[in-house]
Chain A
Amino acid sequence: MTNLSSSETPSRLARFMDSDVLHSFLRSPSAMIAAFITLVFILAALFAPLIAPYNPFDPAQISLWDGKLPPSFAGGDDRYFLGTDNQGRDMLSTILYGGRLSIIVGLAAVFLGMLMGVTLGIISGYLGGTFDAVIMRIADVQLTIPGILLAILINGIGRAFLPVDVRDEFAIYVVIIAIGLSDWPQFARITRGATLVEANKEYVASARVIGLPSWLIMVRHLLPNVLRPVLVLATLGLATAIISEATLSFLGQGIPPTTPSLGTLIRVGNEFLFSGLWWITLFPAIALVILVFSVNLFGDWLRDALNPKLR
């Protein structure tokens, strides 16, 4: 069975190797660089415990005596390439672990928003009626409020509901939910639009004719066909989510300083900027900007590549 089908239609890999998308990728240096940098960041995030010279979360490895050391190339200690923060944590390790948190939070938040938006969008687009009207009205209203403001507000409310002693512990979940809730309408809209187009095609009509239940048509037939634009939105949304997380953390409303994300590091460093300790802010900020920039660049390319109309 598998043999038969693979001899008739090329395998997924072969199709991918021959696709327009890969072709356009290989011809776009900026996309390749962006993808490479993004990949490096994700690998660094995955393997942070292996790469990082120190474990910044292990109090046994931190000495306050080593605090506030400048980078080794700027007259600091040879042990700490990018210097240390105010608590004596190695900046390089802290950035690796922080980047890991930023990426995890970003991915989780985008996934949450995507899950919500795609589900509601497909149901809205396929079933229509009152459900569609209500959901899209809510999405419209929410879209008029900038996502970051909504994330700040939801996050603030979420924090307020948590008792003080567990606030830091659960902060990361509150942040994920706040950002996820703030960006579902975009996913819902784009999914609904794609669903409306797909629902009029013959394969959906045939599926309906042979008596498949609505949910099966939505999951099995519509979902795979509306994922293209969603994928683009998710990539661009990842960059926004990472910025949102960094912003919340910078405002002191996000990831606590005990397990800092990039935004938290920038916040902590900002307090020492006036005393000339520039490296505590600068390096996490550079890491954040490069990460966001390359994810954005990759997303832009993906949007153009998956949408032949723009080419």
Chain B
Amino acid sequence: MFAFIARRLAQSILVMAVVSAVAFSLFNFVGDPVNNMVGQDATRERRAEIRLQLGLDDPIPVQYVRFVSNMLQGDFGISYRIKQPVDKLILERLPATLELVFVSAIISLIVGIVAGVYTGIHRNSWISRSILSSSLIGVSLPTFIIGIALIYIFAVHLRWLPSSGRAGTIDFGWWKTSLLSLEGWRSILLPAITLSLFQLTMILRLVRAEMMEVMQTDFIKFARARGLSERAINYGHALRNTLVPVITIIGLNIGGLIAFSVITETVFQWPGTGLMFIQAVDFVDVPIMSAYLVFVAILFVIINLVVDLLYAAVDPRIRIGNA
């Protein structure tokens, strides 16, 4: 077990080293960092001063080490465009992304599991069939088209919900939340549904497949023979045994949610970290770009570690196999 964790940790550190090298080379080789900071018409002395300040005359390895140590202290430099510290900008935007991901994870979990169990048990009812075929459409439609369609239907046509932005936030210390007001819920609903659809169908299909498999097993037949109620069999016995793969998929899906949040945030102009990255690319705002890279890498490293550990905790074969 220890060897397993140690190996995974070493791997994570390697990944972070590579990503930080990419972020560092972005910093140093995209445009002229001095020009980016002071503009074209600064005096020669001012430029030299900035160069010295940034340590741009030092050897590259020295610069890289400094870059990494700054990064470890949460210092990603100053945004070229907004002229504010990048760590502060990310922290400002983070709650929007996390809340969006959280709400859509809840939606996809609840709807996915309920629909999955239902379609797994009532395999041939017309409700199951229509759920399954609409889920197929959900998978093959690109996220942004679903977003546009929802905006068109619910915001432009029916005028029920706002089309974009994050209205009705309430300050909670530095955390601005949209989960405490009606207006906030109204604006988070469409992006969250858009983001949840893909994960929802995956969970649905997985739960359905697992349910169908579990229902064939002997212990379910035995439970039936014992005369347990359908409900106890379905939810107490069958569903519980489908949850192991579901946990992993959900863990991995959090990564997927983060990934697709970039798209969803852009479609709905939701002021999260993903939208910030897209805008940063448009303006070649390198400090934000490299910070976002590192941020995403950290997120995925953590998610993978947790999923691996969960795996190992749930399934002893993995512990033995890798230790």
Contacts and interface: CB of A to CB of B under 8 A. Distances in A.
A66 to B, nearest CB: 25
Residue among A152, A239, A273 with most chain B CB within 10 A: A152
A247 interface: yes
B266 interface: yes
Given A247-B263, A250-B144, A252-B278, A160 B256 contact: no
B290 to A, nearest CB: 9
Given A145-B300, A161-B29, A274-B156, A293 B281 contact: no
Interface stretch (B45-53, B145-153, B216-224): B145-153
B22 A157 contact: yes
Interface residues of A, number: 35
A164 interface: yes
A247 B11 contact: no
Interface string A124-168: 000000000000010001001110110011001101110010000
A292 B144 CA distance: 14
A146 to B, nearest CB: 4
Given A137-B11, A149-B262, A247-B263, A160 B30 contact: yes
A288 interface: yes
Contact of B30 (A161, A278, A292, A293): A161
Contacts of B296: 145, 149, 153
A148 B29 contact: no
A145 B252 contact: no
Contacts of B289: 156-157, 160
Interface in B5-35: 11, 15, 22, 26, 29-30
A146 B140 contact: no
A296 B136 CA distance: 11
A160 B142 contact: no
A266 B146 CA distance: 12
B256 A146 contact: yes
Nearest to A137: B11
Interface string B71-106: 000000000000000000000000000000000000
Given A270-B148, A274-B156, A281-B148, A246 B142 contact: yes
B143 interface: yes
Contacts of A156: 277-278, 280-281, 289
A247 B143 contact: yes
Interface string B300-313: 10011000000000
Given A145-B255, A157-B289, A266-B145, A251 B263 contact: yes
A160 B286 contact: yes
Residue among A156, A273, A289 with most chain B CB within 10 A: A156
Contacts of B258: 149
Contact of B152 (A144, A273, A288, A289): A273
Contacts of B255: 144-146, 149
Residue among A278, A285, A296 with most chain B CB within 10 A: A285
Contacts of B163: 274
Contact of A296 (B140, B262, B281): B140
Contacts of A296: 140
Interface string B208-252: 000000000000000000000000000000000000000000001
A243 interface: yes
Contacts of B145: 266, 285, 288-289
B141 interface: yes
Interface of B: 11, 15, 22, 26, 29-30, 140-145, 148, 151-152, 156, 163, 252, 255-256, 258-260, 262-263, 266-267, 277-278, 280-282, 284, 286, 289, 293, 296, 300, 303-304
20 contacts: A141-B11, A141-B15, A145-B259, A145-B296, A146-B256, A148-B260, A149-B260, A152-B259, A152-B262, A156-B281, A157-B22, A160-B30, A161-B26, A239-B140, A247-B144, A250-B267, A251-B262, A253-B281, A273-B148, A293-B140
Given A161-B29, A274-B163, A293-B140, 17 more contacts: A144-B252, A144-B303, A144-B304, A146-B255, A146-B256, A148-B259, A148-B260, A149-B262, A156-B281, A247-B263, A250-B263, A251-B263, A252-B278, A252-B282, A273-B151, A273-B152, A296-B140
